[in-house]
Each structure stands twice: as C-alpha cells, then as structure tokens.
Amino acid sequence: MEKRTLGRSEVQIAPILMGTWQAGKNLWVGIEDEQTTQAIRAAVEAGMTTIDTAEIYGEGYSERIIATALAGLPRDRVELASKVFSTHLKYGQVIAACEGSLKNLETDYLDLYQIHWPAGFMGSEVVPIAETMRALNDLKEQGKIRAIGVSNFSRRQLEEAAQYGRIDSLQPPYSLFWRKIERDLTPYCIEHNIAILAYSPMAQGLLTGKFGLGHQFEQGDNRAGNQLFQGETYERALQAIEQLRPISDRHHCTLAQLALAWAIAQPQTCAIAGARNAQQSLENAKAVDVKLSEADLQAIDRIGRLVTDRLDDRPAMWEFANDAPV
C-alpha cells in the first residue's frame, strides 16, 4: 500500500488508516478484545500501518489494546496517531494527556497528535487555542510527537490554530453521505497542504449496505443518534445505496470498498476505517485496489447528493455533538 505524506511533515501514512474507536468499547456493543487485536494486526499486515486512536476511547482502553496488538512489532513498522480530548486543553493537561497516551501505547513518540474536539465542546472549559498549541509545539520540539493535527474543527477554528503552529492534518466526518467539509474546509486544506483524515468514511456502516428499513441498534450503540440513520434521511440513503450497487458490481468490490475508494480519491484525503475483526480489516485494505474513473466518480457524486443535498446545517453527525462551538 503506497503511503502518502501527512501535510508538510515527514510522516508517511497509509491511504486507509485503521480506526480504533470501537476498540475502546464505550458507545459500541458486541466488541471482543481478541477479535480487535486480530483486526489491528491484520490491518498492519495488509498495509494499513497507520493506526488512529484517542485518549477518550474507553478512557485509554483503545490505546492499551493497540499496544497489545502491536507487541513484538518494530516501532517503525507503524504510525501511531492519538488525540487529546476537549477537557484537557490547558498547557499542563495536554502534556499529561500525551504522556498518558505514550504510556498506554507503550511508545516514546506519536507520529501524529490531534486536538479531538475544540475547546468548549460539551460544556468543557474554553481554553485559548494559543495555550493548547504552545503545549503541542513543545511536545513536538521534545520529539514526543512528530506532527500536529486537529479534529472536528470549523474553518475559523482551523485558521486560528494555524496562527500558532504548523497543522498537518484535519480529521473531520467525511463520506459520500456527509460532505459538509467541501464547502470551506477542503479548499483551505488544499491551499495550505493540510491532509484530510476522513472519519466515518463508510457513514458508520451505512454505506456497507448491511442495514435495512426499520433497523434498530442495540442500547448503547452511538449510531442510534446519528442523523443519517433517522427518518427520511435514512430512507434516502437506502435508495442511494441501491443505485451504488451496480457500480460496485462492475468493479467486483463491496459497497464498503467502493465507499473507501471514493473517499481516498478525493483531494488530499485518506480514510479511517474501523474493523471488528481481521476479515473486515482485510476487506478494508483491498479498497486501495479499486480504481474509479472520472465517469465513476461523477456517477457516485450524483448518487450521494440524493442524501447530502437534503441535510440541514447541523455540523455534527450525532445529536449530542451539535452544541460544539464553531
């Protein structure tokens, strides 16, 4: 799997990253540790050597599972990316959070360290971005992190953060069914050579085609609060998926692989794909072999807009996240 450069940094990452929110178990159901470790190991073996996690995923549990999965592998075989949560954005808190992630991951450096949500998210303290960036810059100077990124930032927030240090990546929700970054964030990232690390590129599994009308998630599954799984939006999504099937059939790939192939074909975009087991990791990795023509991309674009053109202006996919300051 040919790697790509992360922004202007020296970090090389896989076009499809291994996502590990589910490894933390919180807000997910039916996750088994043994299967998760096998999924991570299989992802690395298949070329998905960049692993994305966060301190908030199970309060460090995801990071510790990653360490278990990678035990015995040379450190330079993988690229590790983690995130500091919005409740830890004061200078000393950032330093402590990074040290905690390093300990959990059993490493002495992170290839990428990201601000997970902006200050003020879900009632957290509003810390000046200058203070947070000062901590990140110091960690970078000390060699504990190699690159700085942000996640879930608006364009205004991204521009402000960039005043205080080099931002090499933006991690937003981005998929064929959720394309709000294209309005103003994508042009800014292209202009300033900031890598886009798309999370939920399969729309939290919706684009796999595995869900039908009337689907009910188990209690505790975060997807129950995702806008894309609600009412008419969900019905339009299912209709769009049926129109995507002939394209995936023509390319002899799954709908999930088609969704990932579309995502990594977008400007400066890599995709973060989670997996519950080794087989899902292997299937995700094969998406790099799906080569979409310009005609394919245009057709997929038209189909996707059956969903995106009818969405409202709420910036976050989940109801609980829409109080984030912009």
Instruction: Give the tens place of pLDDT for each residue, 179-198.
Output: 999 999 999 999 999 999 99
Cβ-based neighbours of 45, under 8 Å, separated by 6 or more: none
pLDDT band with cut points at 50, 70 and 90 for residue 323: low
Number of domains in the chain: 1
Strands 112-115 vs 50-52: parallel, antiparallel or unpaired: unpaired
Residue 96 lies in a domain: yes
Maximum Cα–Cα distance for the chain, whole Å? 54
Residue 168 lies in a domain: yes
Catalytic residue among 57, 113, 199, 234: 57
Per-residue pLDDT, averaged over 55-71, amounts to 97
pLDDT tens digit string along 269-305? 999 999 999 999 999 999 999 999 999 999 999 999 9
**Strand spans (E) along 61-106:** 79-84
- Write out the two tokens for 230: 């609600």
Residue 326 lies in a domain: no
Kindly report the average pLDDT of the chain as a whole number.
95
pLDDT tens digit string along 94-130? 999 999 999 999 999 999 999 999 999 989 999 999 9
Q: Domain with 61 in it: what CATH number?
A: 3.20.20.100
pLDDT of residue 326: 46
Residue 242 lies in a domain: yes
Report CA Rg, the chain.
19
Residue range(s) defining the domain that contains residue 106: 4-321
57 given a catalytic annotation: yes
Does residue 324 carry a pLDDT above 70? no
Residue 266 lies in a domain: yes
Long-range contacts of 155-163 (CB under 8 A, 24+ apart): 155/184, 155/185, 155/188, 156/326, 157/118, 157/129, 157/326, 158/185, 158/188, 158/194, 159/188, 160/129, 161/115, 161/129, 161/133, 162/192, 163/130
pLDDT tens digit string along 241-277? 999 999 999 999 999 999 999 999 999 999 999 999 9
